Amino acid sequence: MTETVEASLTADETLDAASQGIDHVIGGSGFVFYYSLLGALLGIAVAALFSPFVTYLLWMSGSPAAGVLEVPVNAAVAVVLALWGRDIGARLAMHRHRRKFLAGMRDRGMPEEITGRFTVTNDAFVISHDRVTYAIAWNAVGEVIEIPTHWLFAVDLHQFTLPRSAFADIAEERTFIASVIGHLTEAARERSDKARAFAEG
């Protein structure tokens, strides 16, 4: 027996729902805020620790404006260190977020590694492995993105990843990318300027 449900979805709606699904997998993401806050507070604490040293340097400079500059300079140092600390905290939080998400997906049966097959046909860009098959209409491929180690294929809210190491040599790689580029819409081809230049050699 086959059951089919048809539903209309917007991109915003999908992203909102997906973020809640990710929170469920990792057990909540409130720690991202607290990591950033803690980083900023540590930055301010370091600034307070070095404040006497900054003041000493100002007075040792012999500048007649040392007394006037003491407060704004220390405040500026505190702001810079707070922002730096917040950035470090956010990076640590994102690293933890990634680890928790991957661990959660592995717990749900995601394999550590898959062998994918990328096939160019006239009707679709077919990406498949032992668990999933995608037949992607060419007008859904919005851009081909070149990065040093991979090719990325932007398809609506998805990005499919093809390791460049999959190719035997650069000639084989150029032939494949040229075939993909040749099936894209004109707009997608224009956006894929680096990939197009690579394919053309």
- Which residue among 107, 136, 165 closes a domain? 107
pLDDT at 29: 83
Residues 74, 129 share a domain: no
State which residues form the domain around 144: 117-200
> Residue 112 domain-assigned?
no
Reported as a single tens digit per residue, the pLDDT across 50-85 is 888 777 776 677 666 666 677 788 888 899 999 999
Residue 127: inside a domain? yes
Report the candidate in 84, 95, 71, 75 with the shortest Cα–Cα distance to residue 42.
84
Within 10 angstroms of residue 158's Cβ, the number of other Cβ atoms is 11
Number of domains in the chain: 2
Residues 130 and 151 in one domain: yes
Take residue 189 and report the two structure tokens written for it. 């081809």
Burial (CB < 10 A; 0-12, 13-18, 19+), residue 116, is middle
Are 15 and 85 in the same domain? yes
Q: How remote is the C-alpha of 101 from its chain's centroid?
A: 14
Query: Quick check: is 186 in a domain?
Result: yes
Residue 135: left if φ>0, alpha if ψ -120 to 50, beta else—which one? Answer: beta
What is the average pLDDT value for the chain, to the nearest integer? 91
User: How far apart are alpha carbons 6 and 10 in whole angstroms?
Assistant: 14
Question: Of 107, 129, 152, which residue sits at a domain end?
Answer: 107
Q: Is pLDDT of 22 > 70?
A: yes
Lowest mean pLDDT among 47-51, 97-101, 127-131, 145-149: 47-51
Q: Is residue 2 part of a domain?
A: no
89 and 29 in a common domain? yes
pLDDT the model gives residue 201: 85
Query: Has residue 6 been placed in a domain?
Result: no
